[in-house]
A = this chain, B = another copy of it.
Amino acid sequence: MIIVKIGGGAGINLRGIIGDLAELKEKFIIVHGANALRDKLAEDLGQPKKVVTSVSGYSSVYSDETLIDHMMMAYAGARNKRIVELCHQHGINAVGLSGLDGKAVQGVRNKGIRVYQDGKLKVLRDYSGKPEAVNRPLFDLLLDHGYVPVVTVPIIDEQNTAINTENDDVVRVLQKALHAETVVNLIEAPGFLENRENEGSLIKRIPSAELEAREGQVDGRMKRKMLAVRKLFEHGASRVIIADGRSEHPVAEALAGKGTVIE
């Protein structure tokens, strides 16, 4: 079983990815983002996303009801259905699933973000959280009958409310539940880079045992990405490939070892 995560950037070569997947012998599922589409939609609607800064200095997107609506439109709507359409055009019998559908991906809502507002300490609660479990029987039912799940956010929380979460975390719970050996993560870069500004600085191999040490050397979004990869190995993945989703054959090249191979 392979999990193919398709990034939500505007430069991702969807047609190339789905064409490659149609040639794949192994079973696979797709998890995808849509951040470029969501940000464009929010901007075009004049309702850009809000960012809040916690008392401890971390910035995060404030997931209010409007943001969840935009996610439903961009992720579960346009991007998911265009990917499903493209799959059928390549002979892949795809079924799109948000985490809400059949409670495919279940999470726990965040307790709130501690912020200062007008000089007072407040707890801002939004519609965001962490995935904890998947509806394994639903995935098995679909996979056993030849369907390929195409999964995206939002997910469902313990009160059956739609919440925002990181797709990296969705991949984590799916990998654990479905015992996927390989995770291919297609992004808008050649792989993990030593220097974010230089696409020539690709890190070609990382032994999985070195991931924790590497986390100490990077920060921000990269640190979070490294941690997400490390968790995949903790739950039994044997290979994670971070590769370029913009190339002509993103999946074929990734599986041939192009990109950052962690094993």
User: Which A residues between 245 and 259 are near B, CB-CB below 8 angstroms?
Assistant: none
Choose among B41, B82, B95 the residue that contacts A101 (Cβ–Cβ < 8 A). B95
User: Is A100 in contact with chain B by the CB < 8 A criterion?
Assistant: yes
Scan residues 73-89 of chain A and give those whose CB is less than 8 A from a CB of chain B: 73-78, 80-82, 84-85, 88-89
The CB with the most chain B CB atoms within 10 A, among A41, A82, A84, A94, is that of A84
Q: Identify whether the interface residues of A are mostly helix, strand, loop, or mixed.
A: helix
User: At the interface, yes or no: A223 with Cβ under 8 Å from chain B?
Assistant: no
| A240: interface (CB < 8 Å) | no
- Copy number of this protein in the oligomer? 2
**Interchain CB contact under 8 A, A81 and B96:** no
Interface size on A, as a range, is 35 or more
Q: How close is A42's CB to chain B, nearest CB, in angstroms?
A: 11
In the complex, the answer to whether B81 meets A103 with C-beta atoms within 8 Å is no
Alpha-carbon gap, A73 to B69, bound state (A): 9
A contacts, CB < 8 Å to B = 41, 44-46, 69, 72-78, 80-82, 84-85, 88-89, 93-98, 100-103, 137-138, 141, 145, 147, 154, 156, 159-162
